[in-house]
Structure formats: C-alpha cells, structure tokens
Amino acid sequence: MNALVLHGGAGSASNIDELNAKVNEFADIAFKEKNALDAVIKAVVLMEDEPLFNAGTGSNMRLDGSIQMDAAVMIPGNFGGVINIENVKNPVLVAKDVMLKSPHLLLAGDGAIKFARKMGYGDYDPSTEKARKKRERILEKLNNGEIPEYYHPKFFLEFLGDTVGAVARINGEFAAAVSTGGTSLTLRGRVGDSPIPGAGIYCGEKGAVVATGIGEEIIKRMLSINIYNRIGEMPLEEICKEELEKFGDIPVGIIAVDENSSCALSNANMPYAIKKY
C-alpha cells in the first residue's frame, strides 16, 4: 500500500472546510512524488506557503511580536530539525538539509539561521495580518485578566493555529515531516513538540507518526513514539484511538501510516487528507 496523510493542525479553526479543501489539494500534488521523503517535503512546503496555515508564511507571532518556527523531517535511521528559526520561507527545507547535508540532527536559533543562509535560503518575513491580529487579541485578553496566570491547556485552543504535518509510505519507504509557527500564547524561545523526535514526530521501519495539538502535553507523553512502538499490536487506528483518549479534553491530533494502513484522528477540529492506492 502506498499512502500519504496530511494534517492542517488540531484546533478550533472556523474555516475547517476551506482548510480541508487545501490539504486535499496539496495531498493530490504531493502524492505524485516518486518517494516518501519527497512527498512529505512537497506537502509541507505547499502548506508552509499557504498563509491559511500556521507554518512558514502565516506563522503565529509570539507575545513579543517575533516569529520563531520549528520544523523536522524523519526517515528510518535519520532525522533533521530546526528549532526557533526565524526569517526563512520554508523551515522544513532547512530541516531536510540539516538531515542530509550536516553532521547534526538539530540546529536552533541563530545557528539554524546561519546554516540556512549557508544553504542558500534568503531572508524572508513570514508575518501576516492574520498573525498580527491574533497577537493583538491575546494581549488584550491578558491585559483584561481573561487568561489566568496558571491556565489549563484548553486556553491554548483559540490560539493554536493550523500547524502542518505529513506522513507517507511509498514503495515500501516511510517518511514524516512537520512544520509549525507555534502558538501565540507563548514566550520567545518556547519549543513545542514538532521538532522533538518521539514527541511530535517519529519514523522507523514499521511506520511513521506525526502529532499536533498542545505541544507541552504531547512531549510529556512522547505521543508519536508511543504509537510507533505499538504498531503491530492491533490495527493502527485502534492504537491511535487509545493513545488519543489518554489526553481527555486536551486538543490533540494524530496522523500515521504503517505497512498496511493509514489514519487521521483528533479530538478537536483537524483538517486532513488521506491518499492511498
């Protein structure tokens, strides 16, 4: 079975139909690639370039107004990621170059930016009016005392944004990729689950898994590798359902593929597309 699964983020997006149409359009394009790695990279680049999503262009602004993005790519036996990278158009392409063209697995902050410039990625401002307005709403709520100092993760829901990810199995090869602008309700320097192998992404010889939602909660539970380690125990969708139920009302989504199946599940609105043959 060849399969490609995309997600556009677990959250409360009011334009879920529009986002579903976009991820299905992009999945059709990406599924034309001849291998799993190229397919997931193509899918994520398309979503990074679409301002409707919270990745690349359209990424959320943090409380201080900066935009720091995370991205990661994984294939069996190899990984590459960037953390808190700024002023690039496609963080996932930089993550791919970390994996294939550097001796490292993760690069962060200024080091990630310098590496991107050496790889030929020019300066790019990913900010949008959508991101500015979202930040303004958050600052207003904070100033009005509408968000308590110690808030339940569900307070993130309004500000999650539509982060992106893809998993694929093509001609027996697995791959996964993720990209995010994070959530606006965070300090500069915050790192979510997306670039953390085992948390927001994992890929091995048995399959590929990507998570989306409240990053801190996903990291605590190491969601992606928990699912991966259970592949073969029962049908993939049943494994994902059981792991998702452990989060209760905390917004989380999962996309996954193994040798024979694929699935996309969430306890919140999550645009997704599944292509297979």
Catalytic residue among 57, 128, 163, 186: 163
Cβ neighbors of 236 (< 8 A, separation 6 or more) are 207, 256, 257, 258, 261, 262, 263
| Interatomic CA distance for residues 127 and 241, integer angstroms | 35
Longest CA pairwise span in the chain (Å): 55
CA distances from 115 to 17, 39, 73, 75, 102 (A): 37, 24, 16, 21, 9
Do 246 and 204 form a contact (C-beta atoms < 8 A)? no
The reply to whether 180 belongs to the active site is: no
Q: Is the dihedral of CA 261, 226, 160, 165 positive or negative?
A: negative
Catalytic residues: 163
